[in-house]
Chains A and B, each alone.
Chain A
Amino acid sequence: MSMIKDRNIRLALLGAPNCGKTSLFNALTGGRAKVANYPGVTVEYRKGNFSLSSLKSIELLDLPGVYGDCGHSMDERVAIDAIKGNLAGERAPDGLIFMMDASHITTHLHNILQAKSYGLPIILVLNMMDMAARDGIDIDIAELESLLDIPVIRCVAVRNTGRSHLVEFLNEWTSDILNDSASIPAIEKNSLKDLQSKARLITSSAVSQINKTVSLTQKIDNIVLHPFFGVIILAGLLIFMFQAVYWWAAPFMDGIDFIFSRLQLMVDSNLSETWLKSLISDGIIAGVGSVIIFLPQIIILFAFILLLEASGYMTRAAFLVDSLMAKVGLNGRAFIPLLSSFACAIPGIMAARTIEQEKDRLTTILIAPLMTCSARWPVYIMIIGAFIPDINIGFLGLQGLVAFCLVLGGIIFAMIMAYIFKKTLMNNSKSILLIELPSYKLPVIKDYFIGLLDRALIFINRAGRIILPASIIIWFLASYPTKSNGIIGTFAGKIGSFIEPILRPIGFNLEIAISLIPGMAAREVVVGALATIYSLNSEAIDGPLKETLQNSWSLPTALSFLVWFVFAPQCLSTLAIMRKETNSWKWPLFAFFYLFVLAYLMAGITYQIAVNLGL
């Protein structure tokens, strides 16, 4: 009674994966948490606050999606622990908002009967009522309420008008909870099987299917899941994506390049020859500018990825490649984490929490760094731009094709390594696929652009947080004590010459050896580091990095460098998240070691072949 009164009311969002919990959470709390149209986007709990007219503040918990009450995987256990109050430092919620995709009510209704057993006040929010209506599903809300003995509220979480009914209801319901007069449903004691038959009886009287036409989603599936054309469409989409990164980015890159070269010119002509001028011009502008210039590519890449994520196509792609994944022993659920790793391995490794078999989760974590993360793109684009001719093969650009092959190379090696890990370390544990295919949806424009803006901000933020300080350090190390004998006389040269002999057989020079060290912080730092080193030490100081590289690297060196980055073990934050997700240093160290060996071997083979071919 008065127990609750002196604190905020805490409500939790519960329900099956991909039913719109995070969309509602964002809409109510003004949050910007990631939303997309596939199951397993949310793998952690998060908290937010919102106000209702009758109360000061409501605390809302957004939880990972869960079908039942067992908690098979890590993310599901978080959701169930949160509801039961078993999370460290978190009390149990005062009420449950159970969300359900109204268009799947027949299949999912038993889930809310299971949720009654938490012994908390609970309401059923039927989300996506518009979609259900489109599918010809008619739901008798009053009938449903009386049969379930739970309040039922209709909702379209992504629209203001669609939420008004819910907000109105929450006003009353939270007052009831505060006064301890909200009804707590009787616990269902039946087995899951009996709950299912009870749920089916309820839907047979409260839900009717008006017209039984084939849904739009099924019509689209007939094309994109076609055993032949489906694969062609998937391959075509990916090839088009990498081509577009090249086709569309050039004018924007030129614009950014213009701004930075003007800045450099301004500094060069207005400051006298002091260390300060060198720091700003060679250190900061060259270092940060050489990375920021790739912002257009990053935005184009994510424009595609976010569109695919929001549409519902992702799970179809997972479906198409699943038999290949099954052959190497990977879990069907591994597809989404691996795909997320194309943005960055960190969210990818976290998304592996949805995999319930621990050994499959570990395997997925270990191969996630082989997916081409967005931090590799600056490296790929810079080297490809400098060394691969801008010609067309048929209607496809050669540069885009080379990028596609590097990405594909990463995927192929990920599959090979998964096979090896499963056969050796993981004892061949069995793996499953059981996933719901969501209905296709048009992206919510606001969510789409917020997602895109967030990705751009992350990229720029990294430039400021990591590349800027790294550039300053490299500038210092590559300038002192003296650069009169070239780079070799500097601290950087001395450090680099320790490593350089090891890297010489794979074609790397002293400058590359130096740049790989700060590159541990983030892969794209290598580009900034090279820019600073060459800006400081090259004769043609004002020439763009591209020309400097063309003049000082051989083609075999460039190819070897590209192949190195397919594996590129260096990324401290990836190793740190592996440590966190596996609770030991064993796996991150193992990952670093195997990636390093692969990178060294494959880059070496590439270099030797290229040299022997006389390239």
Chain B
Amino acid sequence: MTLSELSLNQKARIIDFDSYDSVLETRLREIGFAEGDQVTILHFGPFGKNPMSLKLNDALIALRRREAQAIIVEII
């Protein structure tokens, strides 16, 4: 499943990236997303559950659902 399908406070681990958009993948990696990292969605935006804020290791990151679709996760 992708990061965009997670529900609130569900713990997940990143296992892969959708390589469809390589620039986006680089962007995501540079800001800190990596295979094996643990993510938890903390908040959804007030309208249409978009964007989402999540805890990635020791950082808090906000991104839109579209960007979250490029990150493949498994629930732990």
Q: Which residues of A contact B (CB under 8 A)?
A: 67-68, 70, 72, 103-108, 110-111, 114, 135, 137, 192-193, 196-197, 200, 209, 217-218, 221-222, 225-228, 230-231, 315, 318-320, 322-324, 326, 332, 430, 432-437, 439
Q: Which of A105, A107, A196, A324 has the most CB of B within 10 A?
A: A107
Given that A193-B34, A197-B35, A432-B64 are contacting pairs, would A319 and B59 also be in contact in the complex, using a CB cutoff of 8 Å?
Answer: no
Contact across chains for A103 and B58 when beta carbons are under 8 A apart: yes
In the complex, the 10 A-B pairs of residues with the closest C-beta atoms, listed nearest first:
A68-B30, A107-B32, A67-B30, A196-B34, A323-B47, A437-B60, A107-B59, A106-B57, A225-B43, A227-B46
- CB-nearest residue of chain B to A433: B64
Q: Which chain B residues lie closer than 8 Å to A322 at the CB level?
A: 45, 50-51, 62, 64
> A322 to B66, alpha carbons, bound, how many Å?
13
Q: Which chain B residues lie closer than 8 Å to A217 at the CB level?
A: 60
Q: Which chain B residues lie closer than 8 Å to A318 at the CB level?
A: 62
Chain A nearest CB from B70 CB (Å) reads 10
6 A–B contacts, CB within 8 A, in A order: A67-B30, A319-B51, A326-B64, A332-B51, A432-B66, A436-B60
> A193 to B27, alpha carbons, bound, how many Å?
12
> A320 to B47, alpha carbons, bound, how many Å?
8
In the complex, which residues 36-60 of chain B have their Cβ closer than 8 Å to any Cβ of chain A? 36-37, 42-48, 50-51, 53, 55-60
Contact across chains for A320 and B46 when beta carbons are under 8 A apart: yes
Contact across chains for A200 and B36 when beta carbons are under 8 A apart: yes
> A285 to B35, alpha carbons, bound, how many Å?
67
Give 8 A-B pairs besides A193-B35, A436-B62 with Cβ atoms closer than 8 angstroms: A68-B29, A196-B34, A218-B60, A227-B46, A332-B62, A430-B66, A434-B62, A434-B64
Q: Which chain A residues lie closer than 8 Å to B32 at the CB level?
A: 67, 104, 107-108, 110
Contact across chains for A221 and B53 when beta carbons are under 8 A apart: yes
Is B75 interfacial (CB-CB < 8 Å)?
A: no
> A404 to B32, alpha carbons, bound, how many Å?
39
Is B28 interfacial (CB-CB < 8 Å)?
A: yes
- CB-nearest residue of chain A to B64: A433
Contact across chains for A315 and B58 when beta carbons are under 8 A apart: no
- CB-nearest residue of chain B to A439: B60
- The answer, among B26, B29, B42, B58, for a CB contact under 8 Å with A104, is B58
Count of inter-chain pairs, beta carbons less than 8 A: 132
Q: Which chain A residues lie closer than 8 Å to B61 at the CB level?
A: 434-437
> A108 to B32, alpha carbons, bound, how many Å?
6
Q: Which of B23, B42, B48, B62 has the most CB of A within 10 A?
A: B62
Is B63 interfacial (CB-CB < 8 Å)?
A: yes
- CB-nearest residue of chain A to B51: A322
Given that A433-B64, A436-B31 are contacting pairs, would A105 and B51 also be in contact in the complex, using a CB cutoff of 8 Å?
Answer: no
- CB-nearest residue of chain B to A196: B34
- The answer, among B28, B36, B50, B51, for a CB contact under 8 Å with A197, is B36
Q: Which of A68, A103, A332, A433 has the most CB of B within 10 A?
A: A433
Q: Which chain A residues lie closer than 8 Å to B53 at the CB level?
A: 221, 225, 319, 437
Is B18 interfacial (CB-CB < 8 Å)?
A: no
Chain B nearest CB from A73 CB (Å) reads 10
Contact across chains for B30 and A218 when beta carbons are under 8 A apart: no
Contact across chains for A433 and B51 when beta carbons are under 8 A apart: yes
Contact across chains for A200 and B34 when beta carbons are under 8 A apart: yes
Contact across chains for A193 and B44 when beta carbons are under 8 A apart: no
Contact across chains for A435 and B45 when beta carbons are under 8 A apart: no
- CB-nearest residue of chain A to B29: A192
Chain A nearest CB from B8 CB (Å) reads 10
Is B1 interfacial (CB-CB < 8 Å)?
A: no
> A226 to B35, alpha carbons, bound, how many Å?
29
Q: Which chain A residues lie closer than 8 Å to B67 at the CB level?
A: 432-434
User: Contact string, B4-27, partner A, CB cutoff 8 A, digits 1/0?
Assistant: 000000000000000000011011
Q: Which chain B residues lie closer than 8 Å to A209 at the CB level?
A: 58
Q: Which chain B residues lie closer than 8 Å to A114 at the CB level?
A: 30
Contact across chains for B57 and A107 when beta carbons are under 8 A apart: yes
Contact across chains for B29 and A324 when beta carbons are under 8 A apart: no
Contact across chains for B50 and A323 when beta carbons are under 8 A apart: yes
- The answer, among B26, B29, B45, for a CB contact under 8 Å with A319, is B45
Contact across chains for B62 and A437 when beta carbons are under 8 A apart: yes
Contact across chains for B46 and A72 when beta carbons are under 8 A apart: no
Chain A nearest CB from B48 CB (Å) reads 6
> A434 to B68, alpha carbons, bound, how many Å?
10
Contact across chains for B58 and A135 when beta carbons are under 8 A apart: yes
Contact across chains for B34 and A67 when beta carbons are under 8 A apart: no
Given that A72-B23, A196-B34, A200-B36 are contacting pairs, would A434 and B56 also be in contact in the complex, using a CB cutoff of 8 Å?
Answer: no
> A225 to B60, alpha carbons, bound, how many Å?
13
Chain B nearest CB from A230 CB (Å) reads 6
Chain A nearest CB from B13 CB (Å) reads 12
Contact across chains for A326 and B50 when beta carbons are under 8 A apart: yes
Q: Which chain A residues lie closer than 8 Å to B35 at the CB level?
A: 193, 196-197
- CB-nearest residue of chain B to A111: B30
Chain B nearest CB from A66 CB (Å) reads 9
Contact across chains for A323 and B62 when beta carbons are under 8 A apart: no
Contact across chains for A433 and B59 when beta carbons are under 8 A apart: no
> A437 to B60, alpha carbons, bound, how many Å?
5
Given that A70-B30, A434-B28 are contacting pairs, would A107 and B56 also be in contact in the complex, using a CB cutoff of 8 Å?
Answer: yes
Chain A nearest CB from B52 CB (Å) reads 9
- CB-nearest residue of chain B to A105: B58
Q: Which chain A residues lie closer than 8 Å to B44 at the CB level?
A: 227
- CB-nearest residue of chain B to A438: B60
Chain A nearest CB from B56 CB (Å) reads 6
> A323 to B24, alpha carbons, bound, how many Å?
20
> A326 to B64, alpha carbons, bound, how many Å?
9
- The answer, among A104, A227, A432, for a CB contact under 8 Å with B45, is A227
- The answer, among A67, A225, A315, A332, for a CB contact under 8 Å with B31, is A67
